[in-house]
Amino acid sequence: MSTLDWAANFRGSTRPNLRRGLPPLTRTGKNLAVGVLVLALALAMAWFAVLRPRAHNVDAVNAQAAAVTASNNSLRTQIAARHAEEAQLPELRKLSSAIDSRFPSTAEQAKLFKMITAAAATAGIAPQYLTNLTVAPPVDSSASTSTTAHLPGVGSTIGQVAAQQVSLDAKGTPEQIRAFVANLEKLPRAFEITGVNLTQSAVSTTTTPGAVVAPDAGLEQASITGQMFLMPKIVDPTKTAASAKTSTP
């Protein structure tokens, strides 16, 4: 059998139907296929139109949340530092009160005279032997070598310091003069001794019957110079903030 004959016989033979195993599409199947395609298309459109932009929004929200968390951590650190400073306030208030006593904001000459007179009396020097007590008006101490004061616990220095010169004469024994100078350095107000000039009183070697000996004969006279300081009153920041808060409507 030739090749042509075989081909003719094959065309005439019964060939298997390859489409016989696939059931025909019914109307319901067609509708189901169309529905699946529509659903897939709707999901794709929802992803591009809704879900994808929202995903970007979630990233932005997460970034904002991270920034807020960092800011809150910084605030917590600042609050902890403020609590630590608040714990030091009682000690700083005591220090502030002591500094206000040592460096008053006004001259207060009446109190100063009483302090010096009391220092002399404690040393055994009677008031009549304390003379020529003068206090110069306060002047700016910017010309001196120490122009600022730095207080413990205070970050900035205090530059507004004024000085007032004090001079006086006192008579007494050497022990009394030394005690008086030591008492001046221990006054409630800061007193800087800048000079002490001692002069021995003349004592007559001859005595005349009936002559009255001066009560200060043989005493030493000390000319003392020094200076005291004035400084603006230290303001409690907590009280200032509290008063500002109460005055705010």
Q: Is 195 within the bounds of a domain?
A: yes
User: Domain check: are 35 and 139 in the same one?
Assistant: no
State the pLDDT at residue 212: 42
Higher pLDDT, 161 or 242: 161
**The residue to which tokens 């800061």 are assigned:** 190
pLDDT at 163 over 90: no
- Tell me, what CATH number does 129's domain have? 3.30.70.60
**For 205-224, what is the mean pLDDT?**
63
pLDDT band at 248 (very low <50, low <70, confident <90, very high): low
State the pLDDT at residue 184: 93
User: Domain check: are 122 and 49 in the same one?
Assistant: no
User: Domain check: are 128 and 177 in the same one?
Assistant: yes
User: Domain check: are 119 and 53 in the same one?
Assistant: no
Q: Of 54, 87, 120, at which residue does a domain stop?
A: 87
Give one DSSP letter per residue of 167-230, joined into a string.
Answer: EEEEEE-HHHHHHHHHHHHTSSS-EEEEEEEEEEPP--SS--TTPPPPTTTT-EEEEEEEEEEE
**How many separate domains does the chain show?**
2
User: Domain check: are 58 and 147 in the same one?
Assistant: no
Q: Rounded to whole angstroms, how far apart are CA atoms 140 and 154?
A: 22
Q: Is 23 within the bounds of a domain?
A: no
Q: Is 235 within the bounds of a domain?
A: no
Q: Of 87, 113, 133, at which residue does a domain stop?
A: 87
User: Domain check: are 130 and 81 in the same one?
Assistant: no
pLDDT band at 154 (very low <50, low <70, confident <90, very high): very low
Q: Rounded to whole angstroms, how far apart are CA atoms 64 and 52?
A: 19
User: Domain check: are 150 and 224 in the same one?
Assistant: yes
Per-residue model confidence as pLDDT tens digits over 10-22: 555 555 554 455 5
Torsion of CA 17, 23, 26, 31, to 10 degrees: -110
pTM value is: 0.53
Higher pLDDT, 171 or 231: 171
Higher pLDDT, 210 or 81: 81
User: Domain check: are 45 and 112 in the same one?
Assistant: no
Biggest CA pair distance of the chain: 188
**The residue to which tokens 């509290």 are assigned:** 242
Q: Is 157 within the bounds of a domain?
A: yes
**The residue to which tokens 């000459």 are assigned:** 109
Domain containing 185 equals 105-203+218-230
Q: Say what percent of the chain tops pLDDT 90.
A: 21
Q: Rounded to whole angstroms, how far apart are CA atoms 197 and 223?
A: 5
User: Domain check: are 53 and 109 in the same one?
Assistant: no
User: Domain check: are 110 and 226 in the same one?
Assistant: yes
User: Domain check: are 73 and 171 in the same one?
Assistant: no
Q: Is 248 within the bounds of a domain?
A: no
Per-residue model confidence as pLDDT tens digits over 82-132: 888 878 878 877 877 777 778 888 878 888 899 999 999 999 999 999 999
